[in-house]
A and B are shown apart, each in its own frame.
Chain A
Amino acid sequence: MTSLAVALNVLRRILRDGRTLALIVILPLFFVLIYGNSFSGSYSDLTIAIVNEDNGLASVRTMEVGRVTLTVDLASAFVDALDTTVFDIVVLKDSDEAMAMVGKDAWAALVFPKSFSNAVVSEAVRSSGERQVEFEGDSVTILPSDPVAGPLTKLIIDDSNPLVAGAIVAAFNDAFATVLETQQSSVTTESLLDVQRLYEGEIRMLDFTAPGIIGFAMTLITVMLTAMAVVRERTGGTLTRILIAPVSAWQVTLGYTLAFSLIALFQAAELFLVSLWLFDIRFVGDPGAVILVIVLFAIGLQGLATLMSTLAKNEAQAMQFVLFLLIPSIMLSGVFWPLETMSGTMRALSYAIPLTYANAALRKIMLTGHGIEALTFELSVLGAIAFVTLLLSVISMRRQAYTA
């Protein structure tokens, strides 16, 4: 009976605490909805550049009329076979321009050589023997010829994201297989493709996830520490005491920012060093750029945490509110699966999460060796988040003193 009384007392107190009660109901739903909508398993909006130099002609030897030229246009057939729900296809004329897009505006570039159709048809006939085709209204027999040696189709791929790179290669293989099937060809995709990876050395799944995991660890620790510290300062009355002194909310907020940025930098250094030492994660970029990303990221995080602490009456509530940032951060910021696999709504939500930009920036630095000049967008967004949340935390800091 005593246990029952204790249990009833616990439940009664939770029922009286509207915010905790709401969190108990909302948090599981939030978690499931985010998870269900964030990973569809299929990709969309992958930009690829294609240059089609194929003349669409195949020169073959026939039994009846000697050498003739057939119009087959297999490169176009390949492009048509690509799934447009997965790919945003940019068709270009200049192969150098297409190659230059990879790693910036496109995941891959594919350049069909002038003799693509000819090479496929010749190889098909050579490997599978004579066949009948229609030529100018008559049926003619194509005779096997010597293998046609020509330039391969060139595929250059951004392999910074092994998941996306794998998906693109798989989709290209499918499209090639469809085209080759129409030619009853035994030619393999590999024999037609000259695959060049954009970056030197293999980028493992561990390398790919490491920047996001490090960013997530920072989010977890910085947000929890800040939110708890501010709530404790407020509920203990010391925040009121500080803000009744001749100091401005700006000074107090900057003090917090300085302290937690230093802690975040220390944590980041620890995370990076241990990851490099124990797991040999890929780090080919500039450590200075990483520090800049981390400082801006940490300021934004502590600003968000201060804002969250405004909503919390006590430390327990603060912890629960923090989960509303942590769950989307791990699921929607592209740490494990690319943004390109998410539905439109979830992707829009992911753009509101600081880790999305920190992760993208850290990947650019660590995996591909990009410098600060390539991080303009990510640094601008992280800087804007830091500034706005800092501004709002100053307002909230003053408000917390009034409502303490």
Chain B
Amino acid sequence: MPADHVIRAQGLRKIYGKRAALDGLSLSVAQGQLYGLAGPNGAGKTTLIRTLCGLLRPDEGEANLLGWKMPSTRVRSQLGYMPQDFAVYNDLSVMQNLEFFGRLYSLKRSQVRERAKELLDLVQLSDRSRDRVGTFSGGMRRRVSLAISLLHKPRLVFLDEPTAGVDPKLRRSFWDYFNALADENVTLVVTTHLVEEAQRCHMVGFLMAGRLLTQGQPEEILAQTGTSNLDDAFIVLQERGEVAS
């Protein structure tokens, strides 16, 4: 396994009751890679991300981030995490949310202001920075959440469904931004249940019932399945997987 792999997970298994949310899953992601985790609802995407971040302890297997076995406190300052739920303070304004989380990452007020300008432009909330988040729609809150996750310029970013509820035009600009971050050597793992979205990633992993059906560059997967888009590719892989199991 190459040394520049910033995520290395081996044999991850997580059981809830009788159901395996992760079923012996292994994964490695290279530095500067935009890795898309695609799969239907309940495939195990969120469980995988939470396990990689150290928020869940796997029943078996282990995960290493930036060379540290998780859970580890040493990687936290370099880690950006956007959970699937909004995880923002509805009773605070956008800027107050950013300032609070900025303080947790030891950012100065001026640094927060500078970053806020860039990120609020990205999520198109510059004109609403003083508004209370509780007055926002679900999609807008998700945009605030994304801005918080990227505030401290993390080296490794986990984004759980960042584009859910976001309109297509803005969704496209998000993916452009993710690619730009990857160009700056930031590693991103982005989950989506919109399989076609994963086309914008360097690498894609198809997740189903806690297992990776396949992973590779989008073009490789299309060639492997003989399809013209990732939606069709996923259906083919899903059917193959069901036949195999």
B159 to chain A, nearest CB (A): 13
For B87, what are the chain A residues with a Cβ–Cβ distance below 8 Å?
236-238, 240-241
Chain A hits for B104, CB < 8 A: 242, 245-247
Residues of the A chain whose Cβ atoms lie less than 8 Å from the Cβ of B85: 236-237
Query: What is the number of residues of chain B that contact chain A, defined by CB distance less than 8 Å?
Result: 22
Residues on the B chain within 8 Å of A240, using CB: 55, 81, 83, 87
Nearest CB on A from B73, distance (A): 7
Report the nearest B residue to A243, measured CB to CB. Answer: B55
The yes or no answer to A244 lying at the interface (CB within 8 A) is yes
The smallest C-beta distance from A161 to any residue of chain B, in angstroms, reads 45
A402 close to B (CB within 8 Å): yes
Which of A240, A242, A401 counts the most chain B CB atoms within 10 A?
A240
Cβ-defined contact, A245 with B101, below 8 A: yes
List B contacts of A246 (CB < 8 A).
Answer: 73, 76-77, 104-106
Q: Min CB distance, A314 to chain B, in Å?
A: 14
Contact present for A244 and B53 (CB under 8 Å):
yes
**Most A Cβ at <10 Å: residue of B76, B87, B148:** B87
Min CB distance B236 to A, Å, is 35
Beta-carbon contact of A236 and B53 below 8 Å: no
Q: Please provide the chain B residues from 41 to 80 with a CB less than 8 Å away from any CB of chain A in the complex.
A: 53-57, 73, 76-77, 79
**Which chain A positions have C-beta within 8 A of B76?**
244-246
Given A241-B148, A402-B55, CB of A236 within 8 Å of CB of B86: yes
State A238–B86 Cα separation when bound (angstroms): 8
Q: How far is the CA of A180 from the CA of B103 in the complex (A)?
A: 79
- Pick the residue among A241, A247, A402 that contacts B83 (CB under 8 A): A241
Q: Known: A236-B87, A238-B87, A241-B87. Contact between A401 and B73, CB under 8 A?
A: no
Tell me which of A236, A240, A244, A248 has the highest count of chain B C-beta atoms within 10 A of its own C-beta: A244
Q: Which residues of chain A have C-beta atoms less than 8 A from B83's C-beta?
A: 237, 240-241
| Distance between Cα atoms of A401 and B87 in the complex (Å) | 12
Neighbouring A residues of B164 by C-beta, 8 Å:
none
Q: Is B89 an interface residue (CB 8 A)?
A: yes
List chain B residues, Cβ under 8 A from A244: 53-55, 76, 79, 81
B90 CB contacts on chain A under 8 angstroms: 236
Answer yes or no: B88 CB below 8 A from chain A CBs.
yes
Pair B81/A241 contact, Cβ less than 8 Å:
yes
A381 to B97, CA, bound (A): 39
Interface string of A234-270 (1 = CB under 8 A from B): 0011101110111110000000000000000000000
Residues of A within 8 A of B89 (CB): 236, 238
Task: Name the B residues within 8 Å of A241 (CB-CB).
Answer: 81, 83, 87, 101, 148
Smallest Cβ-Cβ distance to B105: which chain A residue: A245
Q: Which residue of B lies closest to A236 (CB)?
A: B87
Quote the shortest CB–CB distance from B146 to chain A (angstroms): 12
Interface members, chain B 83-116 (any A CB < 8 Å)? 83, 85-90, 101, 104-106
- Complex CA gap A245/B83 in Å reads 13
Residues of B near A238 (CB, < 8 A) are: 87-89
Residue of A nearest to B102 (CB): A245
> How far is the CB of B131 from the nearest CB of chain A, in Å?
18
Q: A236-B85, A236-B86 are in contact. Are A402 and B105 (CB under 8 A)?
A: no
Cα A244 to Cα B86 in complex, Å, equals 15
Distance between Cα atoms of A237 and B82 in the complex (Å):
10
Asked if residues A237 and B86 are in contact (CB atoms below 8 Å), the reply is yes
Give Cα distance in the complex from A402 to B148, angstroms: 20
Whole-angstrom distance from the CB of B226 to the nearest CB of chain A?
41
Nearest CB in chain A: distance from B104 CB, A: 4
CA separation between A4 and B89, bound complex, in Å? 38
A5 to B84, CA, bound (A): 33
What chain A residues lie within 8 Å of B77 (beta carbons)? 245-246
| Inter-chain pairs besides A238-B87, A242-B104, 9 sampled, C-beta below 8 Å | A236-B90, A237-B85, A241-B81, A244-B55, A245-B101, A245-B105, A246-B76, A246-B77, A402-B55
Give A residues with C-beta under 8 Å from B: 236-238, 240-242, 244-248, 401-402, 404
Residues of B near any A CB (own CB < 8 A): 53-57, 73, 76-77, 79, 81, 83, 85-90, 101, 104-106, 148
Q: Mind listing 20 A-B residue pairs with CB under 8 Å? A: A236-B85, A236-B86, A236-B88, A237-B86, A237-B87, A238-B87, A240-B81, A240-B83, A240-B87, A241-B81, A241-B83, A244-B55, A244-B76, A244-B79, A245-B77, A246-B105, A248-B73, A401-B55, A402-B55, A402-B56
Shortest beta-carbon contacts, A-B, top 8: A237-B87, A245-B104, A246-B77, A246-B76, A237-B85, A241-B87, A237-B83, A244-B81
